[in-house]
Amino acid sequence: MNQEISLVVNGTSHTVRVGDHWTLLDLLHDALDLKGTKDGCGEGVCGACTVLVNGRAVRACLTLAAYVQGAEVVTIEGLARDDELDPVQRTFLELGAVQCGYCTPGMIMMSKALLDENPNPTRDEVREALAGNLCRCSGYTKIIDAVMAVRGAD
C-alpha cells in the first residue's frame, strides 16, 4: 500500500508518495534524495539518523513516514543558511570534533535540540543529551568540547 505524505523539510513543502512500511529515514533518502541523515543500527541505539520533528529530536529510522504527515522536519542539510554554517557545525569544524564523520549529522542534530531547549548546558547535561549518539571513533571529548564552545560562539 502507498500513501501520500505532505510535510515541510528544511523550510520547503513537499508532497511525496511512500510505502506504508516506509520510515522517515526511507522518505528522506529515497523520496527526497537527502542523504545527510545516516543509517546506522536501525534500532534507535546509535543516533546516526537523528533529525528534528516539530523541534524535537527523534530517530528517523524508528519513525513511520506516516507520523510526519503535516510535520516540520529539520535535517543536517537544513542548518546552514546560504554559505553560513550553523554555530554547532562551525564549532565541530573548528575544534576537530569530526573524525570519520558518520556520527556527525546525528551528533549535530542532537546538540541542536539540546541547545534550542537549554542554551547554557553544563558539561554533564551535554553528556546526558548525547548519551544516545555513538561515535565509534570514540571522539567524544572533542564533540562535547564543541557543544560547550557554542555557548561562547554566536
Nearer to another protein by C-beta: 20 or 84?
20
- Between CA 153 and CA 47 the distance in angstroms is 25
Closest to 22 (Cα-Cα) out of 10, 8, 32, 11: 32
Phi and psi torsions of 85, nearest 5°: -70, 150
Nearer to another protein by C-beta: 63 or 104?
63
Nearer to another protein by C-beta: 7 or 57?
57
The sign one gets for the Cα dihedral 144, 146, 147, 152 is: positive
Q: Which of residues 67-106 bind another protein (CB under 8 A)?
A: 67
Nearer to another protein by C-beta: 24 or 150?
24
Nearer to another protein by C-beta: 19 or 36?
19
Question: Applying CB under 8 A, which of residues 90, 132, 142, 145 lies at the interface with another protein?
Answer: 132
Question: Applying CB under 8 A, which of residues 71, 98, 129, 147 lies at the interface with another protein?
Answer: 129
C-alpha cell at 104: 556527525
Question: Applying CB under 8 A, which of residues 37, 63, 91, 104 lies at the interface with another protein?
Answer: 63
Output DSSP code: residue 22: -
Phi and psi torsions of 84, nearest 5°: -95, 120
Q: Binding-site residue total for another protein (CB under 8 A)? A: 33
CB of 116 to another protein, least distance (A): 12
The answer to the question of residue 36 lying near another protein (CB under 8 A) is no
- Between CA 10 and CA 101 the distance in angstroms is 21
- Which runs of consecutive H residues, i.e. helices, occur in 3-139? 24-26, 87-94, 104-117, 123-129
Binding region for another protein (CB under 8 A): 1, 3, 19-23, 26, 39, 42-45, 47, 50, 56-59, 61-64, 66-67, 110, 113-114, 128-129, 131-132, 134
